[in-house]
């Protein structure tokens, strides 16, 4: 059987709006001859009713309609459920008004003169080509964001897997060996005191190895599930940072803040974690404060340190800041980084609760 041929793409749908019925007919026919699917409306109200039920790829709009205010019509095109691209058609002497409308979103304009019908196809084609380029760029940006989110999600899954292996695998093995050393130490304490002492030292080293393994596993699997996970994860982050013994880290909040978006929880935690790591590793901070709270319509996450500042290129901190900004953008949050008076850095992230 012969392969089914692909259906040709539908021609672009145009809506021509002009209350000069003679000119409306001429423009519509000229565009139909170019292969476009053309609808015409002799009034603004007729055009608005048509747009409520149909989708236009481009609207050609008379700048002076008798029944509808042009600004209100353009607002409908720009701010409706789906933005509708448009060009304006205007009479002689209204060039300034046409330029003003272009500042409000029009792609181009046509003058009602003897050359109008000759120029009409090329102006429409140029406008549609511009719309197609914008759509292609928007699609590419959306695909890039989707792929980046998938990469980060895969990274998080790998972190969880490694953390679980450390805790349930290596951690359990080390604990078992530490128990064996303790048992052998007790058995040899009377008959072979030197060996018993060595076994005690080995047991201490193994206990430290178990503690470090758990420390690493908690860092790789930082937050659990549920609306309190971010709050609990930040508390644990401050505790682990304090356990390093090199820096004092405090967590401050006026009330328990719940976040029910699991993706936002993960990204917000990682932003705080990266900020703390930067302060410890690169800024040589001695004091860090993590703050979490609510502000009108948004969640507030802040990390402040008293270190040497943002550092110089090549310290590794630039990559960390870039990653924080990227994580913020994925969840629709804003991130601000600024020096603190008296030294150090303040990193503030605002996440809109409506999202």
DSSP states along 140-199? HHHHHHHHHHHHHHHHHHHHHHHHHHIIIIIHHHHHHHHHHHHHHHHHHTTT-HHHHHHH
**Which of 7-21, 58-72, 233-247, 287-301 holds the top average pLDDT?**
287-301
Beta bridge partners of 135: none
| CB-based contact 269:222 (threshold 8 Å) | yes
Query: Which residue do the tokens 């193994």 mark?
Result: 206
Residue 272: pLDDT over 70: yes
Residue that terminates a domain, selected from 52, 79, 113: 113
Residues 41-51 have pLDDT tens digits of 999 999 999 99
Distance separating alpha carbons of residues 102 and 147, to the nearest angstrom:
35
Cα separation values, 174 from 29, 177, 215, 263, Å: 83, 5, 14, 33
Across 41-50, 219-228, 231-240, least confident range? 219-228
| CATH number of the domain enclosing 329 | 3.30.565.10
Has residue 149 been placed in a domain?
no
- Sequence-separated contacts (24+) of 149-157 with Cβ below 8 Å: 149/330, 152/267, 152/327, 152/330, 156/266
- The band of 313, judged by pLDDT with boundaries at 50, 70 and 90, is very low
* 186 found inside a domain: no
Lowest mean pLDDT among 3-7, 17-21, 81-85: 3-7
Residue 153 lies in a domain: no
Among 149-158, 183-192, 248-257, where is mean pLDDT lowest?
Answer: 149-158
233 inside domain: yes
- Domain-embedded: residue 253: yes
Q: By three-state DSSP, how is residue 291 classified?
A: strand
Average pLDDT over residues 125-151: 86
Higher confidence at residue 352 or residue 1? 352
What per-residue confidence (pLDDT) applies to 307?
A: 87
Q: What is the mean pLDDT of the chain?
A: 84
Between 336 and 246, name the one with better pLDDT. Answer: 336
Q: Is the pTM of this model over 0.75?
A: no
Q: Would you give the distance in Å from CA 143 to the centre of its chain? A: 12
* Res. 170: pLDDT tops 60: yes
Could you tell me if residue 27 is inside a domain? yes
Contact between residue 210 and residue 178 where contact means Cβ atoms under 8 Å apart: yes
Nearest to 210 by CA among 173, 164, 160, 162: 173
6 in a structural domain? no
> In the chain, pLDDT over 90 holds for what percent of residues?
31
The parent domain of residue 28 ranges over: 13-113
Residue 5 included in any domain: no
Residue 28's pLDDT is 93
Q: Of the segments 23-32, 109-118, 250-259, which one has the largest average pLDDT value?
A: 23-32
Per-residue pLDDT, 337:
92
Q: What is the CATH number of the domain that holds 87?
A: 3.40.50.2300
Residue 253: DSSP 8-state: -
Cα separation, 351 vs 271, in Å, equals 12
Tell me which of 84, 113, 142 is where a domain ends.
Answer: 113
**pLDDT confidence band for 211 (50 / 70 / 90):** confident
Q: Which residues lie below 8 Å from residue 152, measured CB to CB, with a gap of 6+?
A: 267, 327, 330
Q: What pLDDT does 217 receive?
A: 66
| Domain finish residue from 113, 131, 146 | 113
Res 35: pLDDT: 93
Burial class (CB in 10 A: 0-12, 13-18, 19+), 266: buried
The tally of domains found in the chain comes to 2
pLDDT digits (tens, 9 = 90+) for 325-353: 988 988 889 999 998 887 889 999 999 98
What is the model's pLDDT at position 64? 84
């Amino acid at each position: 059987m012969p392969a089914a041929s692909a259906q040709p793409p539908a021609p672009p749908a145009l809506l021509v709006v002009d209350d000069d019925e003679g000119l409306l007919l001429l423009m519509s026919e000229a565009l139909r001859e170019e292969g476009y699917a053309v609808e015409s409306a002799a009034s603004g109200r007729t055009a608005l009713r048509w747009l409520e039920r149909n989708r236009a790829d481009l609207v050609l709009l008379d700048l002076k309609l008798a029944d509808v205010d042009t600004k209100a019509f353009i607002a409908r095109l720009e701010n409706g459920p789906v933005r509708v691209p448009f060009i304006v058609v205007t009479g002689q002497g209204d060039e300034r008004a046409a330029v003003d409308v272009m500042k409000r979103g029009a792609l181009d304009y046509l003058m009602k003169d003897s050359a109008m019908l000759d120029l009409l196809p090329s102006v429409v084609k140029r406008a549609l080509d511009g719309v197609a380029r914008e759509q292609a760029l928007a699609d590419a940006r959306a695909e890039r964001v989707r792929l980046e989110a998938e990469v980060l999600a895969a990274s998080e899954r790998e972190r969880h897997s490694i953390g679980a292996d450390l805790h349930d695998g290596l951690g359990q093995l080390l604990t078992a060996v530490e128990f064996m050393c303790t048992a052998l130490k007790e058995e040899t304490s009377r008959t072979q005191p030197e060996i018993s002492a060595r076994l005690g030292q080995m047991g201490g080293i193994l206990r430290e190895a178990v503690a470090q393994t758990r420390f690493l596993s908690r860092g790789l699997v930082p937050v659990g599930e549920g609306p309190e996970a971010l709050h609990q994860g930040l508390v644990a982050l401050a505790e682990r940072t304090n356990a390093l013994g090199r820096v004092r880290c405090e967590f401050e909040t006026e009330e328990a803040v719940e976040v029910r978006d699991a993706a936002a929880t993960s990204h917000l935690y990682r932003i705080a974690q990266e900020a703390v790591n930067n302060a410890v590793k690169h800024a040589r901070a001695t004091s860090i404060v993590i703050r979490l709270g609510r502000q009108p319509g948004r969640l507030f996450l802040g990390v402040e340190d008293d270190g040497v500042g943002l550092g110089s290129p090549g310290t590794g901190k630039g990559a960390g800041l870039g990653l924080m900004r990227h994580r913020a953008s994925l969840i629709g949050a804003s991130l601000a980084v600024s020096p603190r008076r008296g030294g150090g850095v303040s990193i503030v992230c605002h996440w809109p609760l409506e999202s």
